[in-house]
Amino acid sequence: MIVTTGGRYNDETLSKAKDIARRYNIKFVVRKKRAVEEMKAHYDDDIIVVGNDEISISPKEKVAVKYHPNFALVRAKRLLNKEKDALIEAAELESGMSFLDCTMGLAADSVIASLAAGPAGKVIALERSFIIYLTTREGLASYDTNIKEIDDAMRRVETIHQDYTDYLKTCSDNSFDIVYFDPMFTSEISSSQSLRAIEKVTHNESLNKEAVDEAKRVARRKVVLKDHFRSTRFEEFGFKQHIRKTSKVHYGVISMNSEFDF
């Protein structure tokens, strides 16, 4: 993987690109007006492109991935307007709580959790794919929504590049209020552009019993699963499925005050 700038850049962008290369120990290459596809072919490597307003990663033979809060921005504005959010309701997440997002992706749910948990809370987000991790980590640190409460929530999310099963094994019992999984859907939701983009560069691994068992040990209050409404994982792993008649996305919950929340 190499780092370069956008086609048009200023001194600040150049400095930022070099800083990213240094922090992640990635080679920096001067753009020299070359097209990204030309650079990928020449270096036979993934390209991180640092633009004046955004960062994108263009993997070999795959589409570019850019950070954007997408629908999370709409959800966050609704929360600030005292409207309900399905994830927050399912998790019963309140100010001051801790939330472990095992499947960060572009961190839409992590941002919403951070907004709900507030400055007194804690949100940690795990991502196994380095490409997604770097894109999202840098995006959360720099993206400007022009809404202070949302920007602050984005900055508070702590990101970690690690497999969630491995991370859960290192956690103490009852160390997070909520443990959350949003694995790649087994049934494609074709209307979601962000899901289609991530699918090309993420690790498509299925949720397994070991991870769920570890999550139940780590969670003080709830383990929450987000999945397609037809998913068999709700029943397979003992999640109580919250039916949402107008949505293909459902949440499942295991409450820690009973074994299977039935």
Domains of the chain, start order: 2-61 (no CATH), 71-255 (3.40.50.150)
Q: How many CB atoms lie within 10 A of CB 15?
A: 13
Q: At 199, is the pLDDT very low, low, confident or very high (cuts 50, 70, 90)?
A: low
| pLDDT for 211 | 97
Across the chain, what does the average pLDDT equal?
89
pLDDT band at residue 259 using 50, 70 and 90 as cut-offs: very low
Rounded mean pLDDT of 162-170? 97
How large a percentage of the chain has pLDDT more than 70? 89
pLDDT score for 203: 53
Q: What would the mean pLDDT of 143-158 be, rounded to a whole number?
A: 96
238 contacts: CB under 8 Å, gap ≥ 6: 212, 254, 259, 260, 261
Is the pLDDT confidence value at 260 over 90? no
Q: Place 187 in a pLDDT band, splitting at 50, 70 and 90.
A: very low
Summarize the confidence of residues 197-220 as an average pLDDT.
80
Is the confidence at residue 95, as pLDDT, over 90? yes
pLDDT for 180: 98
Cα within 13 Å of Cα(172), Cβ side? 2
Instruction: Return the minimum-mean-pLDDT range out of 14-18, 91-95, 186-190.
Output: 186-190
pLDDT of residue 56: 87
pLDDT beyond 70 at 1: yes
| CA gap 256, 251 in Å, rounded | 16
CB 41 within 8 A of CB 15: no
Distance CA 115, CA 81 (A): 12
Q: What's residue 186's pLDDT?
A: 43
Give the pLDDT of residue 184.
64
pLDDT in tens, 31-84: 998 999 999 989 999 999 998 888 888 888 667 778 888 889 999 999 999 999
Judged by DSSP in three states, 197 sits in helix
Whether 237 has a pLDDT exceeding 90, the answer reads yes
